[in-house]
Amino acid sequence: MNPVLGVRGLVKRYGDRTALDGIDLDVHEHEVVVLIGPSGSGKSTLLRCVDLLEEIDDGQVLLDGVDVSDPRVDPDVARRGIGVVFQSFNLFPHMTVLDNVTLAPRHVHGVARETAESRARDLLDRVGLADRADAYPDRLSGGQQQRVAIARSLAYDPRLLLLDEITSALDPELVGEVLALVRELAEQGRTILMATHEMGFARRVADRVCFLDGGRLIEQGPPEQVLGDPEHERTRRFLARIVDAGRL
């Protein structure tokens, strides 16, 4: 069976800087794959390339076996199968929570208001915010706003969820509620590729951890192996720095 996501020989350059230097990565259905690595190692670039937000210089991105990096593929159509949440919540401040969640379905994909709203209320219920549908984002905590962003990313029941450091802009006491929601999604069998600095979370929830450095995938494996007994010196050095910073 095809993996949900297949990344083949992916190369991305910005000018003369190589951000991704030949990445090969499969994510299978129901798998939770966590990307770790130092700042600038290419985690966000990889997620952005998979979401077809960046033109790639070489290689392929396959979704369910279909090469969506082929220039003939309409990225808007391909992206329907992908839900994305970034570090900053990107909610529209002048729109209610409900309107934020229904915006893309209604205005980009032409879903009727009633259908979009009923689906949005269901999603808000799932992230524990059914009673905040009519609130404006500035009346919500950062954690609640990020849960709205997660609800929004689920609007099309995506095959693949991409999460980029979704807790790093949150106050420490709000991180837990967002990670608990991600864990719930993982337990429900969602297929997730996420970048995070939350090593404890990676250890508990990831099926596989991938360590990136300098745009290369240095090593990957079960969390207990990569975080507990890494093969490569570079991984060891990175983890040692994290231990020093009290994050592991």
Ligand X SMILES: Nc1ncnc2c1ncn2[C@@H]1O[C@H](COP(=O)(O)OP(=O)(O)OP(=O)(O)O)[C@@H](O)[C@H]1O
> What are the residues binding Mg ion (CB under 5 A)?
43-44
Number of residues lying near ligand X (CB under 6 A):
11
Q: Which of residues 25-54 bind ligand X (CB under 6 A)?
A: 37, 39-45
Q: Which does 42 bind (CB under 5 to 8 A by kind): Mg ion, ligand X, none?
A: ligand X
Which phi-psi region, left, alpha or beta, contains residue 19 (left: φ > 0; alpha: ψ -120 to 50)? alpha
- The β-bridge partners of 221 are 209
Q: Which is nearer to ligand X, 40 or 221 (CB)?
A: 40
Q: Which does 188 bind (CB under 5 to 8 A by kind): ligand X, Mg ion, none?
A: none
**What are the φ and ψ backbone dihedral angles of 182, each rounded to 5 degrees?**
-60, -40
Give the number of other Cβ atoms within 10 Å of residue 248's Cβ. 17
Q: Which of residues 63-82 bind ligand X (CB under 6 A)?
A: none
Q: How far is it, in rounded angstroms, from Cα 240 to Cα 187? A: 30
Q: Compute the least distance from the CB of residue 233 to ligand X, in Å.
A: 19
Helix, strand, or coil (residue 145): helix
Q: Compute the least distance from the CB of residue 45 to ligand X, in Å.
A: 3
Which one of 3-11, 14-22, 73-81, 94-102 is the stretch in contact with ligand X (CB under 6 A)?
14-22
* Contact present, 34 and 202 (Cβ < 8 Å): yes
Q: Quickly list H helices, 127-222.
A: 142-153, 172-187, 199-205
Q: Which is nearer to ligand X, 15 or 110 (CB)?
A: 15
Q: Which does 22 bind (CB under 5 to 8 A by kind): Mg ion, ligand X, none?
A: none
What one-letter code names the amino acid at 102?
A: T
Tokens 């309409």, residue located: 74
Q: Compute the least distance from the CB of residue 164 to ligand X, in Å.
A: 7
Q: Compute the least distance from the CB of residue 73 to ligand X, in Å.
A: 22
Q: Compute the least distance from the CB of residue 44 to ligand X, in Å.
A: 3
The verdict on 145 binding ligand X (CB under 6 A) reads no
Q: How far is it, in rounded angstroms, from Cα 70 to Cα 59? A: 10
Q: Which does 153 bind (CB under 5 to 8 A by kind): ligand X, Mg ion, none?
A: none
* Contact present, 202 and 196 (Cβ < 8 Å): yes
The verdict on 102 binding ligand X (CB under 6 A) reads no
The verdict on 128 binding ligand X (CB under 6 A) reads no
Residue least distant from Mg ion (Cβ): 44
Give the number of other Cβ atoms within 10 Å of residue 17's Cβ. 9
* Contact present, 130 and 124 (Cβ < 8 Å): yes
Residue ranges binding ligand X (CB under 6 A): 14, 17, 19, 37, 39-45
